[in-house]
Chain A
Amino acid sequence: MRSAEHNNRWLQRFHIDGQLFVALLVLAVISAFTVYSASGQDWGMTQRQVIRIGIAFLGMLVIAQIPLSTVERFSLPMFTLGVVLLLGVLLFGESSKGAQRWLNIGVATIQPSEIMKLAVPMTVAWFIAEQGLPPTKRRLAAAFILLMIPTLMIAKQPDLGTSILIASSGIFVLFLAGISWRLISFFAISIGAFIPILWMFLMRDYQRQRVLTFLNPESDPLGAGYQIIQSKIAIGSGGVEGKGWLQGTQSQLEFLPERHTDFIFSVFSEEFGLVGVIGLFAVYGFIIFRGLIIAMRAQKIYQKLLAGSLTLTFFVYVLVNIGMVSGLLPVVGVPLPLISYGGTSMVTLLAGFGLLMAIATNKRLVMHD
């Protein structure tokens, strides 16, 4: 590893982690091919997706160049800005599909919850790192409140998927910071107790419906259960070897809803089979493993916590999406990271990987200091 880094001074200089970069590129290629198939061979959509990937990759490389001290300094201001924008969304946001997620700031519409995907782990990591590991109970409590503010604001929009991702990103920081197992048990029990409250007061009808349908999709095969049933049919009918690229009848004949966005994994599984799925898991697994390695090797606590949290949040993305399309989890509207059609999550995710790369390549600079 060390010699490889020696031989890649060029990569080091531009703060690029070669292994991570290659793995992400593989996902980008898979994304392009799968979107082409899932969009009904819509060349225009595929082109847009490729352009987005390109822009997101550029963004990743730019972020990787930012000194980590700057990142750390900007954590709290970014968080504060995010909260203000979220407040703006709740007050003046634009609706789309029954949810207020977008804020029109004159020149463009932005989705403040995306900022929070980075700002929450950065801020919580900064807040914990300031004190050192393991954190005191008071600091933990403060950190918890810190992460719950945006989580609840986003859940209120409502955007359950994103609020889960943001809450996890903060909780992962706390977990990695060494929060005691007793506290972890306490939280687990609290969450258990929170579920009825969530169900009765915080969830919207359509969210409840999703959960009910998840519990028994066949109870409503033409309505809400339809998505899950068709998705499972798509995955299962792919078998071991898959039906072949562009040959997935479930997706090509439009039996699968939202097949190029949230349900793109079903298309992939139908066309590439279990073999393809294992390959995709391997790439995801490699990225997560690499992310954790980077976290381990990072010198500063802030960097360790941030790298670990970003990596595990990425894992949650994968888990929630694949879990929901294969019927293990309720449908909560989380895209398959770096594969699903759509630009917002792509940009945020790769920005996160930009930070990871900055952390990965920061080590040597620290040593030279």
Chain B
Amino acid sequence: MKHKRVTIRDHHAEAALFARRVFVSLIIVVAVFGVLLSNMYQLQVIEHQSLQTRSNDNRIKVVPLPPNRGLIYDRRGRLLAENRPVLSLEVTPEKVADLDQTLARLQAILQLTDDDIAQFHENRRRERRFNQVILRDRLTEQQAAQFAARQHEFPGVSIEARLVRHYPYGEAITHALGYVAKINSRDVANLREQEKSANYAATRVIGKLGIERYYEELLHGTIGFQQVEVDIHGRSIRTLSIDPPVPGQDLHLELDIELQQYAHDLLGDDRGSIILMDPRDGAIRAMVSKPSYDPNWFAQGISYAQYQSLLNSKHSPLLNRSTQGGYPPASTVKAQIAILGLDEGIIRPDTKIWDPGWFQIEGVDHRYRDWLAWGHGWVNVTDAIVESCDTFYYDLALKLGIDKIHDHMVQYGFGERTGIDISEESAAVMPSRGWKRARFNQPWYAGETVSIGIGQSYWTTTPIQLAVGTAVVVNSGQRPVPRLLAAIQEGEVKLPAVVENKEPVVLKNDKHWNVAKNAMDLTVSSIKGTAHRAFKGANYTSGGKTGTAQVRSLGQEEEYNAEDIAERYRDNAMYVGYAPADNPELVVIIAVENALGGGGSVAAPMARKLLDFYFEQEQKYAQR
């Protein structure tokens, strides 16, 4: 071919050569399309599944949805803990061009504090860039309006409504109801240990105290999930599917918020505790501990300074005095001692002793003084309760001995937790030889037994223990477990909370209950009774026992004068009572720390007012 090139061109040869080359090209084209197509087959058919998965991983984000926390109602359906929408100013850092400048301008417009800004930077570190970070919680309406008017100037900044736990009755109910607060690192560790972390993925707060803590599992609910489609910037475009959260269960408490508030106000500025409980089933109608504090501080995020002030207050507001306060029971447990004396046969209902105003252990100089300096004269067991004769019990306790007293008193629940449905409870101290040996490595002395007879010495009780102890007496041995929870809302149905009674106190002779209870009735009804004056003119019957507990032992010749003595060393005023006298439906426990007066003059009048109020209420609601 090469040599055939001449001036006369062979058009046919040229065309044939060209045609062959076009044919080769066509084969190459077909082959290349074959390769491209097989590659497409590889991607779209063979690798389809895995690439489809990667495509979904790109675009689908699972967003956990927090369940709404269950609400808490009192026994008459009033809301004690609710979820309130609050407006918060939130920033999505990714969408903000110049974060520092934006923050500075917002700070100027909305009068944000430097703390707000610092907190924001703190929060921001924990969130992803395209997530919203709270800049300011709880905007005022004015702030919200100011921002709304200029929102267009702040891309990436928005006002969001969130649900925040709110306690409308504030400090009146704090210790019983408790509160929720931000989940901290310890909560996170606990949740992980209990394998509940997953359920809390979207939850910001957790019950920290009281009912909110004890029934956390019921109140919290179950987390939900939302599958959203996101674009490359992580913005969610649309919701693909939603598995809604299951809200927490609503709880109904036995508490009566009116009674609770009344009791709270009644204590005024005094420190102490008030408990109102139905002795038949342990239902708590009111449980107050003073001083108190506003649980909303915690629910909304307490500042460090605020928390420190609560923690360091010498009045210990954080302590739930009703369940953690260890008070010497003083004379309020005389009924129980008397019952033991009768049942052990050491005294009989008509056994009388002479009270000169003091008691002495044979061969010992020390005089145990009666509160009535000149003595009660001849007293039997009933008189000794009604008039609260100390000498009678010094004598009885010594005859019984610490072992018998301890073994009997623990049956009432003294020295152990009552099992009330909050976690903050202490066992207080029902002393014994073993206890003293373990505690002080010392033997038990007879003189200490004498003091135990009037509920002093090492013996301490929590007010809730006194409530149970008193209930046992009026129930003739039945020992209820105190409880705040009345029912759990399960859809339309209220599932009543049932708690089994503890082991009853069994006497050799059941009549001994009546002796003690009769004496407590007389404490109110008899003119000689220490609570008589307080309950004069009441339109219901009741019984009770006063108590005046020494916080500090007096010297042999020292006179006690409440006015003179340092406030912290004043006596505690105590009262345990019940009403109506026959078939009681309420026991009332009053403990006032360092009171200006004793059980009869300070605590019993409080009990009177409470019972008056209670029966008025019952009547009012019965009429409706």
* Interface residues, chain A, with chain B CB atoms under 8 Å away: 132-134, 136, 172, 175-178, 230, 232-240, 249-250, 253-255, 269, 273-274, 277-278, 281, 284-285, 288-289, 292, 295-296, 301, 304-305, 308, 312, 315, 319, 322-323, 326-328
Contacts and interface: CB of A to CB of B under 8 A. Distances in A.
A327 B47 CA distance: 13
Contact of A175 (B5, B25, B37): B25
Which 9 pairs, one residue from A and one from B, show the smallest C-beta to C-beta distance? A236-B51, A237-B55, A253-B231, A236-B43, A133-B14, A178-B17, A274-B44, A237-B52, A132-B9
B22 A301 contact: no
A239 B48 contact: yes
B22 A296 contact: yes
B590 to A, nearest CB: 68
Contact of B36 (A238, A305, A328): A328
Interface stretch (B26-34, B266-274, B404-412, B512-520): B26-34
Nearest to B20: A178
B58 A253 contact: yes
18 contacts: A133-B13, A134-B1, A134-B5, A134-B17, A236-B52, A237-B54, A238-B44, A253-B58, A253-B230, A253-B231, A255-B231, A255-B232, A269-B43, A277-B44, A292-B29, A296-B18, A312-B29, A326-B43
B55 A240 contact: no
Contacts of A234: 55
A128 to B, nearest CB: 11
B59 interface: yes
A292 B26 contact: yes
Given A237-B48, A249-B59, A315 B29 contact: yes
Contacts of A136: 5
A206 to B, nearest CB: 22
Given A132-B14, A292-B22, A301-B18, A323 B9 contact: no
B378 to A, nearest CB: 97
A131 to B, nearest CB: 8
Contacts of A133: 13-14, 17-18
A177 B18 CA distance: 6
Contacts of A278: 37
Given A238-B44, A277-B44, A319-B32, A253 B18 contact: no
Given A230-B58, A277-B40, A328-B35, 15 more contacts: A136-B5, A175-B21, A234-B55, A235-B40, A237-B55, A239-B44, A249-B59, A253-B231, A269-B40, A277-B37, A285-B29, A296-B18, A326-B40, A328-B36, A328-B39
B22 A295 contact: yes
B15 to A, nearest CB: 8
Contacts of A249: 55, 58-59, 229
B47 A236 contact: yes
B99 interface: no
B237 interface: yes
A305 B52 CA distance: 45
B141 to A, nearest CB: 38
Contacts of B54: 233, 237
B14 A301 contact: yes
A322 B14 contact: no
